[in-house]
Chain A
Amino acid sequence: MEHAATPEWAMLAYLIAGVLFILSLRGLSSPETSQAGNRYGMIGMGIAVLTTLILHPVGLPFIIGAMAIGGGIGFYIAQNIKMTAMPELVAGFHSLVGMAAVLVGCAAYLNPAAFNILDSVTNEIHGASRIEMGLGVAIGAITFSGSVIAFLKLSGRMGGNPIMLPGRHIINLALLAGILGLVAYFVTDQSAWVFWTITALSFAIGFLLIIPIGGADMPVVISMLNSYSGWAAAAMGFTLGNTAMIITGALVGSSGAILSYIMCKAMNRSFISVIAGGFGDAGGPVAAGSGIAKPFKAGSAEDAAFIMKNAESVIIVPGYGMAVSQAQHALREMGDLLKKEGVSVKYAIHPVAGRMPGHMNVLLAEANVSYDEVFELEDINSDFAQCDVAFVIGANDVTNPLAKTDKTSPIYGMPVLDVEKAKTVLFVKRSMGGVGYAGVDNPVFYMDNTMMLLADAKKMVETIVKSLGH
């Protein structure tokens, strides 16, 4: 290959950028070092961009214009987006990386000389570069269309329910085989139709893969797309022989893969079954409609305030419902008032609470909850047995004890928060009608020591805050 055209100082600069990206992820090992980590990432990106500009200084006004437009839009979005909208923002950003990878792949195909991938003897694109380019474009296109669907579902512009096409597994497998076959064929024949068919089929499969996946599986999907955007960058890095791109691609690729793994484990689901999609599509109405209405205890905000005021310890369990109703600020106020009364307050976070990894932590941080009051499942689960009140707000499946006992339940085997072990369970829920995403009834609702607080999460917490106030 003829990548040797890149001067040594530039190769070194790209390597430094790659190392800075590693340091930026390393910084996230604790909140104290995380901001420095983010700065390393920015410096690394700056070095990569500057180095490329010095090597390719043609057409600077247009380049600066394009960066200013994109940068302005990006900065504006980042400053104004609501924290509760973070999952759709990340999905939207993934789609941009995917599309950029596709466009770069197309540009390289149309002008291989600029990318230094032209064989000087045959005047055709190097065979190896064709594979890398084909794969890069394919992964980029899947990332793009998949992320667009994820974005539409997460932002509520498209129903969160899985949409099932008949024979979709066969269609998907056929598409996948077609893409891989064409990438292989591309090595022997660099005709335009091969390249564009690979691109078109990849857009289609990304779309079809995500359409049948429902809302609560989104943490897995969004992590998986995160991973793909990395692999797309890595494939393009091979085409360009660029170390910064390869290191970053590998980092982002493994990061997304690990997050998907953690999310799958937290739901006790295999990655394949998530991707195959359709979880909970039949369960909802059946489970909700079946059986006689069981007796449960409903309470008021005043009752809840009284119980918590007189408790020694309260563990708050937030879920997606808290995000939907934006109750995090009111919740923190409630926590503060309880602490003033001498109550110990902690937060328990299930890994799949919300719509993306770490979703609840960000919202609590936004509401100014100190992060050392927020605990992960395995660190706090044993505390429920000793605590007076478990205050569940907008979470359901992640507290369902059937996951531990009922082998026929679709959520059997999923690690859950043992809220039922608390002396009293206060369960904030919009109404008794709805069941969790998995469509399974939660026996915690009907226990003697459970009090259901049926209202919008934010309104309920605000009323509790008022009654705690006097």
Chain B
Amino acid sequence: MEFLSIFSIFVMACFVGYYVVWSVTPALHTPLMAVTNAISSVIVVGALIASSAAAGGSETSRYLGLLALVLASVNIFGGFAVTRRMLAMYKKKDKKPAVSNAAAK
């Protein structure tokens, strides 16, 4: 892909990120960090490419890829699982809608 077109995606995504993150309620900032941590493990794509490099390439490169794959997998599974565990704890007991503070945001 052309550099400029891929750079445009990047710039747009920064703006999307900016607006989406500001809309996250402060009560969920810890889960936000956990989930961003999990999705930043999308670096796993690079690790997979390195791990599956066909014969002829550098063997070291392949081992580095596999090691990266282990680390990224810890993060993917750990990150999403811990986020799920945290989010399951956020409960509302009263059925009444939250007073004033919902309107203030």
Contact = CB atoms under 8 A, between A and B. Distances in A.
Interface string A33-57: 0110110011011001100110011
Contact of A255 (B32, B48, B65, B66): B32
B46 A104 contact: yes
Contacts of A394: none
Interface string A88-106: 0110011011011101101
Interface in B64-82: 64-82
A232 B43 contact: yes
Given A66-B69, A96-B74, A111-B58, A357 B26 contact: yes
A229 B40 contact: yes
Contacts of A248: 39-40, 42
Contacts of B36: 25, 226, 230, 251-252, 255-256
A376 interface: yes
B14 A371 contact: no
Contact of B32 (A28, A30, A244, A372): A28
Interface stretch (A71-79, A162-170, A416-424): A71-79
A81 B78 CA distance: 10
Nearest to B68: A103
Interface in A218-232: 222-223, 226, 229-230, 232
Contacts of A97: 37, 40-41, 43, 71-72, 75
A73 B2 CA distance: 39
Interface in A235-249: 236-249
A371 B91 contact: yes
Interface string B46-70: 1111111110011011101111111
Given A22-B20, A28-B25, A114 B93 contact: no
A34 B71 CA distance: 26
Contacts of B77: 70-72, 74-75, 78
Given A90-B34, A223-B33, A371-B91, A245 B46 contact: yes
Contacts of A45: 38-39, 41-42, 44, 76, 80
Contacts of A94: 37
B88 to A, nearest CB: 7
A70 B52 contact: no
A374 B26 CA distance: 11
Contacts of B94: 370, 372
A276 interface: no
A188 to B, nearest CB: 19
A100 B71 contact: yes
Interface stretch (A176-184, A206-214, A359-367, A429-437): A359-367
Contacts of B18: 254, 258
Interface string B74-105: 11111111111111111111101111110011
A410 B54 CA distance: 59
A62 interface: yes
* Of B58, B61, B93, B99, most A-chain CB atoms within 10 Å: B61
Given A58-B52, A250-B10, 7 more contacts: A48-B45, A59-B53, A70-B75, A78-B77, A236-B46, A249-B42, A371-B91
